[in-house]
């Protein structure tokens, strides 16, 4: 009787490991592509920025799906988690820009 339960748990672990490995592979590719585009000067400046931005957005989706296990099935808890994370990131980025701008002004760089 305990044999099917053990087999199901082992299959779930294997499925989760494959999910993490697939996510790591996609994340690595989405990290290396922008580096390669910048290194080999393949695109113009504006196309390069758009390409890097697209890779960043796709990588966010990969992290949500494969590492955080957040599906896109419109669950309220997942939406709250995403919005709270976006709020914290926004506060950190805005604070960093504010501090760096203030330092640049005080040092007479602008």
**pTM here?**
0.70
Q: Over the stretch 57-99, which tens digit does the pLDDT of each residue have?
A: 999 899 988 988 887 676 777 778 888 888 999 999 999 999 9
Residue showing tokens 């910048």: 38
d(CA 8, CA 11): 5
User: How many Å apart are CA 24 and CA 3, to the nearest integer?
Assistant: 32
**Start-to-end CA span in the chain (Å):** 74
Query: ∠ CA 97-44-54 to the nearest 5 degrees?
Result: 55
**Do residues 59 and 27 touch, judged by C-beta distance below 8 A?**
yes
pLDDT digits (tens, 9 = 90+) for 26-53: 999 999 999 999 999 989 999 999 999 9
């Amino acid at each position: 009787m305990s044999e099917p339960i053990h087999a199901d748990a082992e299959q779930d672990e294997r499925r989760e490991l494959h999910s993490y490995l697939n996510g790591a592979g996609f994340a690595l590719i989405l990290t290396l592509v922008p580096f390669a585009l910048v290194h080999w000067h393949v695109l113009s400046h504006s196309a390069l920025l758009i390409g890097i931005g697209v890779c960043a957005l796709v990588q966010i989706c990969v992290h949500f799906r494969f590492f955080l296990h957040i599906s896109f099935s419109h669950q309220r808890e997942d939406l709250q988690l995403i919005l709270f994370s976006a709020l914290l990131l926004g506060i950190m980025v805005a604070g960093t820009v504010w501090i760096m701008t203030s330092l640049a002004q005080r040092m007479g760089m602008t």
